[in-house]
Every structure is written in C-alpha cells, then in structure tokens.
Structure 1
Amino acid sequence: MAVSITIISDTHQMHEDLVLPGGDILIHCGDFLELFDRDGPGLGPMDEWFGRQNYHHVLVTGGNHDIALENAWQLGVKSFENAELLIDEEVTVSGLRIYGAPWLPDLPGHAFYLDDEGLRRKWSAVPSDVDILITHVPPFGILDRSSRGMQFGCAHLRDNLPRIAPRLHCFGHVHASAGEMQSGATLFVNASSAISGQKAVRPPFTIEMAPR
C-alpha cells in the first residue's frame, strides 16, 4: 500500500502560510528559523504547528539557519514534541527506511557546518539502500544552483549517493532550484518552500511511495 509523503523545507518562520494536504508522513528538511534567532523563540511555534498538521508522522532535520536547534541538540534538550528530529539517525516509518542528517559545507558560523573531513565521515556513515534520505544540502550538481548560477551542493554527499542509493532524496537550502529531478532509481526533490526574493512560500511537494 502506498505511503503518502509531503515534503517542505526552508520555511524561515513562514510555516503558517503553508497549506498542507495531510497524509502519512510530513518531512521538513530544515531552516525553520532565521539565521540570527539564536535563542530559539521560533521553535515552540514551529512545534505547535507540527502538532496541528494532519499526519501520522512528522520527521525533520536541521538547516544552516537553525542555530537554536543545533544549540539545543548539543545540550541534549528536546526541541520538538510533535516531530522526530533526525540527526545522523535512521528510523523505519510505515515500512520505509528513512535516514536524516543536517550537515553542510562552506558556511562556517552557521548551524550544522562541517569541514571536508567531517562531511566525509558523516556521509560515509549513512547506511546503504535506505528508502528516503533527508538532508538540508543538495548533492553537488543536483538542484543546487542559486539565482546567480552558483552551485551550493555538497560534493562529499554526491560521492556517497551511488552507495546509499536512496529511492527518494529530499533537501532544500538552495531556494532558486526548488523542484524535482529523476536520476536513475532516485527521485531528487529540492523542497525549498521560501521563494527567493519574496516573503512568500510555494506549495509543498507530495509523492507516494510503496514499501519494498
């Protein structure tokens, strides 16, 4: 039986503007907050909003703007009651193996930044043959071009994809490249909700996936 999945990302505290269809799984690929929201007042409203959505499961990972989320995680403080935060973690939901991790390159001083060695270590640890991979950053060369044509994907993530072989890889980070792309057996979804240059959001991405 197919599982209905809604994917969003980069809501930047505009989540109340989204209209979601409901279903089995809601995925948020990070950037709930604005960059300088270091104390996390936006996390409570975000969690309350998750609790109002019509989904059986809500799965999230962090993004580079989510400094308050990273701070809470490092202190062992639970940020969400109505969503499951995935940081280097695999869960099985509705028969689907799902792995989430927030790490990204190039932005020291932002949340969840790692250097090359850290990124190699993290992406090498992702298990093979997961059904869904949730990251914040795109893999280099896939739905990762900014409005100025620059590529902001992670090369170390790209290098591990043939081994990981996810059926669905969802992410955000690069607002201008929101969309879907099929490559081989993997559907890539840049689910960035924020529209570049506007205080507005685009509709969520929805797919259906059957367990293996």
Structure 2
Amino acid sequence: MAATATAAAASPQSIRTRFLIISDTHNATPQSWSDLTCAFRHPLPAADVAIHCGDLTYSGRLEEYAAAIETLASVDAELKLVIAGNHDMSLDAEYYAERGALRHGRRFDPELPSKARDMWLGPEGAARRAGITYLEEGMHRFRLKSGARLNVYASPYQPEFCYWAFPYQRDEDRFNPAPAEPDPSIKNIATNPVPDFPEVDVMMTHGPPLYHLDRTVSLEDVGCAHLLRAAARARPRLHCFGHIHEGWGAERVKWANGTKGLDLVARTDKFQWNQDAVLQNRAAHVNVSSTESLSSLEFGRETLMVNASIMSVRYKPVNAPWLIDLDLPAAGEQKE
C-alpha cells in the first residue's frame, strides 16, 4: 500500500508531496534494518514518489538490473521513477555496440541492449510488473492519487566520463534549444531540450549542473554548464541527480535575472543535517512545502537541488537517501 499521509493539501492550489530520492546504488542493496551505522538500510522510507537518478548497476548486466528492480519493488511509493546512468551501459544501445565488447569481454552479448530494454520498458518486463516506470530522455507527465500534477524532465546523459555510457562532449549542448544567434564554440545537439518555465516540476538527470554538488575529491567542479543554463530557464521545483558520489547533499538555489555565467544564480544555501537523526530516520529530510511557512519553496524563483548518490567515492553505500517534502500543483490547475 502506497504512502498517502504526506499528500495532504497544503492549500487549495497545491498538494504537499513526499519524494524519496536515491542514485548511484551500483548494485548495493539496503543494509539490514539492525545496522544502525548506515542510513541506507531496510526498509527504505515510504513516499508518494520514489526516484532513482541512475547508475543502478556497475556494468549493466541483466542480473544487476534484476537486483535493482527487486530493491525498488520493495519501496512503499505510489509512483517509482528511474533513469539510467553511465554505468547502465546496455541501456545505451549505441554505446554498447561500440564499446560493449571491451567492457564485458567474454560476456559480451550483442542482444543485451534489446534484452535490457525489454526488462525496463517492455509491457511484460520485470520493471513494469514491479510498478516501476523507466524514463527515457524528455518530458513525462503524471497525476497522483492525491490529485497532484507531476511534470518530469528526465535525461541519463552527462559530459563524457572515462569512456562510459550516455556521453556527450563538453562543447555539445543537449539541453537547450538552438539560439537565434549560434555560438560557434558550442554544438547544439538537443533533440529533447528542457522546456521553459513553468512546464517542469522536477528535473531528473544523472549528471549535476556546473557548480552545484558537483565537486570531486580533486576539488574540480565537473558539472555541466549547459545543464545549469537549462535549469535556470526551466526553474523546476526540484532538480535531482547523482553521478558525482562525493557531491552528496542538498542546496536551495535562488535564481537571478541574468542570462549568462554566474549571473544565473543569485544565492545558494546548503542544507545541514543532524547525523544521528539521519541514521535514525534512514534518510536526510528536507521540508520546503508550504507547511513550513518560513522555508517553503518559491516556485519560479527557487529550485531545490539534490545529489542523491548513495555510494561514496570509494564505492561504499554510506550516503543516506533523501526525503523531500514539497508542493505540487493540483492537476488541471492553471499554470503558475
């Protein structure tokens, strides 16, 4: 039975909705409920919407997907949304045709991409049977039992990273429409660009935007500048991602009126958390719904950004899931 208690109406025009967000599990399953040293443990917290931002596996094999589906099937949520990441290589058919033999060696199977696709997208596939919705790049629209509308932009792509899947080059923009006056230094390759505000409630990408929860252990900011511009244009309520394990965290971004460079962001506030509470609750919790009048999110001016990587930089599942409470519009409501 899906959790519904959190979906109480915050106002006649908005509905409080709880999101459970994880990413970069890389085959790890939640630890035993009795392991109080780890927040990523059974049972994962209940929510209205559960989100996995990719890197379900380490190498995109069918048995790895099966384990990920089993974990997600156990989550108490009405809607369960998943995208791929760079390690889920068999879900990128073009990449697997070019580099799958190198990655999988003797276990290379040229039919694996079609088998993987059937597993996640087939009407009788394991994901569908488990109540999981796999999202390909583009817009996806949902209506929750609470009456809330949820418009999601999803993309598994990120700047080329160590020759893994779903890559694009840093001089390629796959998130913004081609400008009227093209920049010769940027190649526009957007086939599914992010829509303008206010079409998007949630952005689900595998990679982070530049300068936001994207700093590596070598102190490099490796997020995507084009993705940041797209987020600034769309101004979603929530932008969740993973990919950079050491970037785990959440921050509140207030958008500026500028259109270039750092002028896109007026202010960024990182959330702090109490580790004892995180361990006890099996999640880091942020409430930016209108039930918290002093900290409610202002749609169109602010976006909550979340890096939900469960794995540490050393591939240990030590990071906590995120529980996010925010307001969604009622379905059928006029655009804000």
The TM-score, its normalising length taken from structure 1, stands at 0.90
Counterpart CA distance in 2 for 1:58 and 1:75 is: 18
1:198 shift after superposition: 5.1
Counterpart CA distance in 1 for 2:190 and 2:49 is: 25
Could you tell me which residue of structure 1 aligns to residue 26 of structure 2? 12
Q: Which amino acid aligns with 1:41?
A: E
- Structure 1, 117-126 or 13-22: larger mean CA deviation: 117-126
1:180 aligns with 2:234: no
1:158 shift after superposition: 1.1
Tell me if structure 1 keeps the 8 A contact 2:204–2:239.
Answer: yes
Q: Tell me: CA distance 1:30–1:6, structure 2 relative to 1, closer, same or farther (3 Å).
A: same
Q: Tell me: CA distance 1:174–1:22, structure 2 relative to 1, closer, same or farther (3 Å).
A: same
Counterpart CA distance in 2 for 1:57 and 1:146 is: 32
Q: Which amino acid aligns with 1:86?
A: L
When the two structures are aligned, how many residues end up with a matched partner?
A: 210
- Structure 1, 20-29 or 199-208: larger mean CA deviation: 199-208
Counterpart CA distance in 1 for 2:114 and 2:159 is: 19
Q: Which amino acid aligns with 1:65?
A: H
Following superposition of structure 1 onto structure 2, how do residues 111-190 of structure 1 map, counting pairs within 5 Å? 111-115=165-169, 116-117=171-172, 119=174, 120-122=188-190, 125-128=193-196, 129=198, 130-184=200-254, 185-190=302-307
Could you tell me which residue of structure 2 aligns to residue 77 of structure 1? 118
Tell me if structure 2 keeps the 8 A contact 1:40–1:69.
Answer: no
Tell me if structure 2 keeps the 8 A contact 1:88–1:126.
Answer: no
Q: Which amino acid aligns with 1:209?
A: L
Counterpart CA distance in 2 for 1:125 and 1:198 is: 32
If asked which structure has higher relative contact order (CA below 8 Å, sep 6+), I would say: 1
Counterpart CA distance in 2 for 1:163 and 1:199 is: 35
SS in 2 for 1:53: coil
Q: Specify which of 308, 312, 317 is matched with residue 195 of structure 1.
A: 312
Q: Specify which of 9, 17, 23 is matched with residue 3 of structure 1.
A: 17
SS in 1 for 2:306: strand
1:46 shift after superposition: 1.0
Q: Specify which of 38, 52, 55 is matched with residue 31 of structure 1.
A: 55
Tell me if structure 1 keeps the 8 A contact 2:137–2:192.
Answer: no
Counterpart CA distance in 2 for 1:114 and 1:203 is: 29
Q: Which amino acid aligns with 1:193?
A: I
Counterpart CA distance in 1 for 2:194 and 2:226 is: 12
For structure 2, the 5+ residue unaligned runs are: 1-8, 10-15, 32-39, 94-112, 121-126, 175-187, 255-301, 330-336
SS in 2 for 1:68: helix
SS in 1 for 2:167: coil
Q: Specify which of 118, 125, 141 is matched with residue 91 of structure 1.
A: 141
Could you tell me which residue of structure 2 aligns to residue 103 of structure 1? 157
Counterpart CA distance in 2 for 1:200 and 1:70 is: 25
SS in 2 for 1:156: helix
Q: Which amino acid aligns with 2:118?
A: V
Q: Tell me: CA distance 1:38–1:96, structure 2 relative to 1, closer, same or farther (3 Å).
A: closer
Could you tell me which residue of structure 1 aligns to residue 84 of structure 2? 62
Counterpart CA distance in 2 for 1:132 and 1:200 is: 25
